[in-house]
C-alpha cells in the first residue's frame, strides 16, 4: 500500500472506471517504454532508479561539505535557475518553519539559505546583498554549463563580494560548484580555482534533479535529513512499479489527467492548504509544464494557495470557464496545531468554533471547498500526506516524477526535453548583442522599431 493516499473519488462524475479501463493498454505501453528505456528521451531517465542507486560516498561528501558551511557561515547563497533552484527552494520551505531565515541561529538546525540567479533583477540582487550585510556566507553555484545568463550574472556579483570580504584564496574555499562532471565553463573554473565540486548526473534533467547534489547540498546545509529524504524516495520507487493503475496511484493520476484533457479540462490547479507548500507548486509547475507542453499539446499547470486564494481566485474557479481541474495536496497531520482562543463574548462571531483546533478548521474548510468546486463542475483529486517531513517529501517527489513521465508518453511527446526554452534565449542573446547572433540581432531590432 502506498505511503501517501491518492483520492480520486471526486472525479467519478467526470471520469468513469470504464474510461480508465480503456486507457490502461496505453499506460501499459508507456510503462514498458520507461522500464526498457525505449521511449523518447530515454537517455535522461536515470532519475528512475536514482533513489536506490545513490552512493553512500556521495551522501557523505555532501554531508561533509554541509558541515563545513554550517561551521564557517551564517548564510548560504544558492545560485541557479529552473531545476537548479526550484527543488531545493521547495524542499527547504516544506521542511522548515515559514520564517526560518528570521529565527536566531540556535533556533535553526542549519544555515540561512537565500536564492539568487533566478531572475535578472538588480533590485533583488541589491536587496539580498543588504540582507547578508556583515554575516559570513558561502556560495553554492549550480549550472550544468556555467554560462546560463541569470546564474552567471549572480555568480559574478556574489563571487566579487566574497573575494572582497575574504580574499581570493579564502573565497575559493567558500564556493561550492554543482556542475557537469567533465566539461563546461563552471566545471573548468572550479577545476582551476579549486572549488569543491559536485556532479550533476548526465542522465538526469534539471527538473528531475532535486534528489541529486543539486538539491541535496542546499538541503543538508539547511539542516535536513537527506538520508530520510532518499529513503522516502526509494520506498516510492518500489511502490510505483506496477503497470496496473489499480495498483499504481501515480499512473492512475496520470491517466485521469489525460482523460480530463481530452474532455476539455486543459488547465490543472495544484492547490495546497499550507503556506509552506507554495513552492511545492512552483517546482511542480516546472516539472509538468516542461515535460508536457510540446507540439501544441499538454495541460497548463497552475497553482493556488488556500484559503488565501479563495479570496481572489475562488470566484473564477467556482463559476468561470469549465476548462480546469484541481489536484489538492493536503497535509493530514500538521507540524504544529493550536487551539482557538476562547472569548467571554462572541463579537467576532467565532463562538461556534471554540473547542476546535485551527487545523481542524482548516481541514473542514478544505472539505467544504472540494464539495463546492465539484458541485460547480470542477473535477477534484487529492493527495493526502501523513506528515510534513523528509521521508514524506522524498516519497511525494518521486510520485510526481513517475506520474509526469507516464503522462508525457500518453501525450506522445518526449517528457524529458525542453526545446521551446531556447526560443526566448535566442531573442534575448540577439538583442543583447551576443557574438554569433548578428543576423538575428538585425531581425529582432527591425521588429521592435
Whole-number pLDDT of residue 1: 61
Q: Grade residue 428 by pLDDT with cuts at 50, 70 and 90.
A: confident
% of the chain residues with pLDDT over 70 = 100
CA distances to 42, 151, 210, 294, 364 from 285, rounded to whole Å, are 22, 20, 14, 14, 27
pLDDT tens profile 8-23: 999 999 999 999 999 9
Average pLDDT of the residues in 149-160: 97
Q: Which tens digits make up the pLDDT trace of 70-93?
A: 999 999 999 999 999 999 999 999
pLDDT value at 444 more than 80: no
Residue 442 has pLDDT above 80, yes or no: no
What are the residue numbers of the active site? 290, 425
Report all structural domains of the chain as residue ranges with CATH numbers, in order of start. 5-39+230-411 (3.40.50.10490), 48-224 (3.40.50.10490)
Q: Is 90 exceeded by the pLDDT of residue 420?
A: no
pTM over 0.85: yes
Helix (H) or strand (E) holding 304: strand 300-305
**How far is 245 from 240, CA to CA, in rounded Å?**
10
| pLDDT cut 90: percent of the chain above it | 92
Q: What Cα–Cα distance (Å) separates residue 422 from each residue in 301, 356, 425, 426?
A: 20, 52, 5, 6
Strand 137-142, strand 112-116: pairing: unpaired
Average pLDDT, the chain: 96
Count of beta carbons in the 10 Å neighbourhood of residue 351: 12
Number of H helices, E strands in the chain: 17, 10
CA distance 198 to 216: 10
Model confidence over 209-265: pLDDT tens digits? 999 999 999 999 999 999 999 999 999 999 999 999 999 999 999 999 999 999 999
Distance CA(80)–CA(144), nearest Å, equals 10
Amino acid at each position: 500500500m502506498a505511503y501517501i493516499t491518492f483520492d480520486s473519488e471526486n472525479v467519478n462524475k467526470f471520469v468513469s472506471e470504464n474510461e480508465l479501463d480503456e486507457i490502461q493498454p496505453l499506460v501499459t505501453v508507456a510503462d514498458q517504454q520507461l522500464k526498457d528505456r525505449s521511449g523518447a528521451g530515454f537517455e535522461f531517465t536515470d532519475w528512475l532508479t536514482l533513489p536506490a542507486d545513490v552512493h553512500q560516498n556521495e551522501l557523505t561528501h555532501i554531508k561533509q561539505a554541509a558541515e563545513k558551511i554550517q561551521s564557517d557561515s551564517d548564510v548560504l547563497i544558492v545560485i541557479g535557475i529552473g531545476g537548479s533552484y526550484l527543488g531545493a527552494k521547495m524542499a527547504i520551505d516544506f521542511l522548515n518553519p515559514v520564517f526560518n531565515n528570521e529565527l536566531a541561529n540556535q533556533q535553526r538546525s542549519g544555515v540561512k539559505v537565500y536564492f539568487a540567479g533566478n531572475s535578472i533583477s538588480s533590485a533583488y540582487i541589491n536587496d539580498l546583498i543588504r540582507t547578508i550585510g556583515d554575516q559570513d556566507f558561502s556560495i553554492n553555484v549550480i549550472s550544468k554549463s556555467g554560462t546560463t545568463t541569470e546564474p552567471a550574472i549572480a555568480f559574478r556579483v556574489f563571487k566579487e563580494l566574497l573575494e572582497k570580504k575574504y580574499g581570493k584564496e579564502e573565497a575559493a574555499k567558500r564556493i561550492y560548484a554543482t556542475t557537469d562532471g567533465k566539461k563546461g565553463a563552471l566545471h573548468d573554473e572550479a577545476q582551476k580555482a579549486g572549488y569543491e565540486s559536485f556532479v550533476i548526473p548526465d542522465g538526469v534533467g534539471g527538473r528531475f534533479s532535486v534528489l541529486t547534489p543539486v538539491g541535496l547540498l542546499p538541503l543538508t546545509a539547511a539542516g535536513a535529513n537527506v538520508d530520510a529524504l532518499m529513503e522516502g524516495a526509494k520506498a516510492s520507487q518500489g511502490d510505483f512499479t506496477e503497470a496496473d493503475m489499480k495498483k499504481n496511484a501515480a499512473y492512475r493520476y496520470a491517466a485521469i489527467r489525460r482523460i480530463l484533457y481530452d474532455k476539455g479540462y486543459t488547465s490543472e490547479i495544484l492547490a495546497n492548504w499550507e503556506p509552506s507548500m507554495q513552492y511545492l507548486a512552483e517546482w511542480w509547475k516546472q516539472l509538468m509544464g516542461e515535460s508536457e507542453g510540446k507540439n501544441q499539446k499538454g495541460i497548463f499547470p497552475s497553482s493556488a494557495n488556500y484559503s488565501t486564494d479563495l479570496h481572489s481566485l475562488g470566484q473564477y474557479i467556482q463559476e468561470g470557464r469549465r476548462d480546469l481541474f484541481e489536484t489538492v495536496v493536503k497535509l493530514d497531520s500538521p507540524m504544529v496545531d493550536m487551539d482557538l482562543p476562547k472569548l467571554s463574548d462572541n463579537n467576532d462571531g467565532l463562538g461556534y468554533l471554540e473547542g476546535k483546533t485551527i487545523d481542524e478548521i482548516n481541514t473542514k474548510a478544505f472539505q467544504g471547498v472540494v464539495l463546492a468546486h465539484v458541485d460547480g463542475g470542477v473535477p477534484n483529486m487529492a493527495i493526502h500526506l501523513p506528515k510534513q517531513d523528509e521521508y514524506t517529501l522524498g516519497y511525494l517527489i518521486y510520485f510526481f516524477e513517475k506520474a509526469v513521465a507516464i503522462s508525457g508518453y500518453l501525450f506522445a511527446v518526449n517528457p524529458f526535453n525542453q526545446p521551446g526554452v531556447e526560443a526566448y534565449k535566442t531573442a534575448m542573446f540577439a538583442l543583447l548583442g551576443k557574438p554569433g547572433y548578428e543576423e538575428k540581432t538585425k531581425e529582432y531590432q527591425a521588429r521592435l522599431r
